[in-house]
Structure 1
Amino acid sequence: MRILHTSDWHIGRTFHGHATLDALRGVLDALVGQVRDHDVDVVIVAGDVFDSATPAAACYTLLTDVLGALADAGAQVVVTSGNHDSAARLGFQSGLLRPGLHVVTDPATAGRPITIDDAHGPVHFYALPFLEPALLRHVWEGARTQADVLARAMDLVRGDLAERGGRSVVVAHCFAAGVESTPQLERDIQQGGLDVVPLATFAGVDYAALGHIHGRSELAPHIRYSGAPLHYGFGEGGKPRGSWLVDLDADGFADARWLDLPVPRAVVTLTAPLDELLTHERFAAHAGDWVCAEYTDTLPQPDPLRRLQERFPHCARVVHRPADAAPQERVRYAERVRAARSDRELIALFLPHVRAGEGASPREEELIADLLDARTAREAAR
């Protein structure tokens, strides 16, 4: 059996305020092409199909179109909900879907497989939707964490598999031990921190198709993340986008290889003084990219975003990162302000605070003194 493992489509997500729906449609069209070109039997979407619990109508249209195209390409599809999805909204029409399209959003189905046959017999797909510990404590007493609820679910999987026999694939949406953390975990699965699931949790199955991490990762030959099909943040720049093509033979996991997906617009971070970013030839190749510009001038520069967008129309983020910024003092700025005894002291504190350590120039000191003296004279004349 040939499986295409993908996840984290995040339909409806924006990139620094810019819509990504058309770009995602193009990438998912290419994914449908992979299914057709490689004779894929089953496509797995391991959670976070939508980016929001309340997706717009256009997001449903895209999902409907892609699921239909995958079925037309000859594959069955197994979809689970992630922590970004609303399980109810994603799963409300699951009973109305055409044969071969399986959308699993109910935790009560853990341990009940979707069974698909090939020439070697059955393959049991245990599709686990995102398991929210707070909602399952009344079902699985003592379960308090993601590790707890996934351990309970996998016990059900192994118990069912022991009775059925055959090969097995589990689909889960979680943060598994051994994966590199990434800034694209915008909403941690456990509020206040990452709730790590041990790899041993997934023992006993032939392949574990995981979602939640936006970059590809191989935690073991048979335990992998596919990552997201688009770059959704500058921290992902340079990381490949694609899917895993997984083969099962008569004995179980046989092989997995990476299939690249197209990148509609590259994501880059450029660092240099502002004038250099605006003029140097070495940056010319990035005119069509999504750009995060980190300018290293000592002082903040006027209107940097507008100026940068004249050269980089898709500059979406500007950061002032002075190359020679002074280390932060131990006493917080607010405490020093409270201790100031005059307006001159307040200004002397304020300017270095907002200008990366750069105080007033001699000419600025003269202007400040003139303004303060003029104010004092006005107050004395009242």
Structure 2
Amino acid sequence: MRLLHTSDWHLGRSFHGVGMLEAQTDFIDQLVDTVRSRGVDAVLISGDVYDRALPAVDTVRLLDTALERITEAGAVVVLSSGNHDSAARLGFGSALFERAGVYLRTRYADIARPVVLPLEGRPVAVYGIPYLEPRLAAGDLGVDVPNHFTVAAAAVQRIREDIRAREQAEGPLASVVMAHTFASGGISSDSERDLAVGGLGAVPLDLFEDFSYTALGHLHGRQQLSSTVRYSGSPLPYSFSEARQAKGGWLLEFDAGGLASVEPVTWPARRRLAVLRGKLEELLADPSLSDAQDAYCQVTLTDSQRPARAMEQVRTRFPDTLVLAFDPEGGARGPAQTYSQRLAKATDDLDVCCGFLEHVRSRSAADEEKDLFIEILDKVREAEAAK
């Protein structure tokens, strides 16, 4: 039996102002191809299938189409809610969806109600833990001191008790737990929403050590925390900090002995990301950067002064530059000053004007700009003298 671990689809998300619905449609095409070509029996989505609690109509249509295509390809779907999802809205019609092979786990009451996948010798029980907001989940889970660890521990304890009861009644089974959380040891990216301040949202890794496999969601980089605890990561990069990450999921294979193997599945994005850094003239001339001409780019210019029409010039070679930053090489501009500090050091009206121009655009006034300031200041003085 084969299960495909995915998470953090974030359908409806944009990337620095660029809509990603087309890229997300491409990813779903690749996922469905994987289901067919690898004989996947179940697709797991460990939270954040949507990017927002109230997704747009076209985003809902995309998920609707995706679920239909996955089930038509021969796999069931187990989907738990994440911190970006509205659990109540996502869980609508869950009893009806189960008849079509789509199992939604968005309610605390369903934490210990697994989807049991039949496998001769050792069936696979998949438990979906929806995102647990401590203050909201504490009462339902019987927790006195609400925090991410206590509510997660209470949810896991419910699952352990259900596994124990099933094995006593029916014999051994393999257990898969889906959870949307930040587990200790995970490496984060810039595109994730913090679950708590100061790292208090982390739960210890050994909380999941009793299970055959734990399919985590929330962190966007695919990573292995232990042999049986992994993040699938997001299927697409959602920040430039993910530019070097291989995106995809994990393919799990179970046999009568339990978890037999785990292998990565990679789905290349149509447009790659490039992070460039250097002086403007060097970036525009460097032949080794030709691949970045068709990529979404984040460019940091290190010129000692901000070049004029910087974005316009950068886009002559890298037309899809989405982020432009400035970091003068060697700290050539010195420590940052407020405009009030600059103003206090001004020696005359021309110095005030030039200082303001440099402050707002991080580039000194050119000679022709200084000449224009002088001309304007002379006309102002003449007008004041004529009064």
Output aligned runs, 1:269-284, within 5 Å.
Answer: 269-284=275-290
Partner of 1:58: 58
Uncovered stretches (5+) of structure 2, i.e. residues with no partner: 168-172
Structure 2 counterparts to residues 272-351 of structure 1, below 5 A: 272-326=278-332, 329=335, 333=338, 336=341, 346=352, 350=356
Give the corresponding residue for 2:26: 26
Summarize the Cα distance change of 1:286–1:365 in structure 2 as closer, same or farther, 3 Å threshold: closer
Q: Does 1:234 align with 2:240?
A: yes
Distance 1:101 1:359 in 2: 61
> 1: distance between equivalents of 2:300 and 2:344?
34
2:163 to 155, 161, 175: 161
* Counterparts in 2 of 1:121 and 1:327: CA distance versus 1, 3 Å: same
Matched ranges for 1:359-370 at <5 A: none
- Tell me by how many angstroms 1:96 deviates: 2.2
C-alpha separation between the residues in 1 aligned to 2:287 and 2:69?
43
Matches within 5 A, 1:169-184: 169-184=176-191
Counterpart amino acid of residue 57 in structure 1 = V
The equivalences for 1:31-110 within 5 A come to 31-97=31-97, 98-110=99-111
**Cα 1:154–1:284, aligned 2, differ >3 Å: closer, same or farther?**
same
Q: Please state which structure has a larger fraction of its residues in helix.
A: 2
Q: Distance in 2 between the 1:274 and 1:327 partners?
A: 17
Q: What amino acid sits opposite 1:164 in the alignment?
A: R
- AA aligned opposite 1:198: P
CA apart distance, 1:342: 6.6
* Structure 1 unaligned spans of 5+: none
The Cα offsets for residues 39-73 of structure 1, whole Å up to 9 and x where unpaired, read as: 11211011110111111111111111111111122
Q: How does 1:151-230 map to 2 (within 5 A)?
A: 151-165=153-167, 166-185=173-192, 187-190=193-196, 195-230=201-236
Q: Which moved more, 1:313-322 or 1:33-42?
A: 313-322
Q: Distance in 1 between matches of 2:335 and 2:294?
A: 40
Deviations 1:184-234 (A, max 9, x none): 21x211257561111011131110000011110100000000111111111
Within-5 A mapping of 1:97-176: 97=97, 98-139=99-140, 140-165=142-167, 166-176=173-183
Describe the shift of the 1:153–1:348 C-alpha distance in structure 2 as closer, same or farther (beyond 3 A): same
SS at match of 1:37: helix
**Alpha carbons 1:71, 1:77 under 8 Å: kept:** yes
State the 1:284 CA deviation.
Answer: 2.2
Cα distance in 2 for partners of 1:17, 1:200 equals 40
Rounded to whole Å, the distance in 1 between the matches of 2:165 and 2:255 is 21
**In 2, Cα distance between the equivalents of 1:85 and 1:323?**
42
Give the CA RMSD over aligned residues. Answer: 2.6
- Following TM superposition, by how much is the alpha carbon of 1:334 offset from its aligned partner in structure 2, in angstroms? 5.7
Change over 3 Å in CA distance of 1:285–1:94 after alignment to 2: same
**1:176/1:77 CA distance change after superposition, 3 Å:** same
| Amino acid of the structure 1 residue aligned with 2:45 | V
Q: Equivalent residue of 2:211, what SS?
A: coil
For 2:231 and 2:370, locate their aligned partners in 1 and report how far apart those are by CA, in whole Å: 58
Specify the SS of the correspondent of 1:155: helix
The verdict on how the C-alpha distance between 1:363 and 1:290 changes in structure 2, with shifts beyond 3 A counting, is closer
Output the CA distance in 2 between the equivalents of 1:253 and 1:371.
Answer: 78
Give the superposition deviation at 1:114.
Answer: 1.7
The separation in 2 between residues aligned to 1:15 and 1:233, in whole angstroms, is 7
In structure 1, distance between residues paired with 2:298 and 2:135: 38
Amino acid of the residue matched to residue 77 of structure 1? Answer: V
Q: Say which SS state the counterpart of residue 127 (structure 2) adopts.
A: strand
When residues 297 and 2 of structure 1 are mapped into structure 2, their CA distance, relative to the original with a 3 A threshold, is same
What is the TM-score when the length of structure 1 is the normalising length?
A: 0.89
Q: Deviations over 1:330-357 (max 9, x none)?
A: 8x5266258568765755764664565x
Task: Out of 87-96 and 123-132, give the one that drifted further.
Answer: 87-96
Q: Taking every aligned residue pair, what percent have the same amino acid on both sides?
A: 38
- Give 2:306's aligned amino acid: P
How many residues were matched structurally? Answer: 379
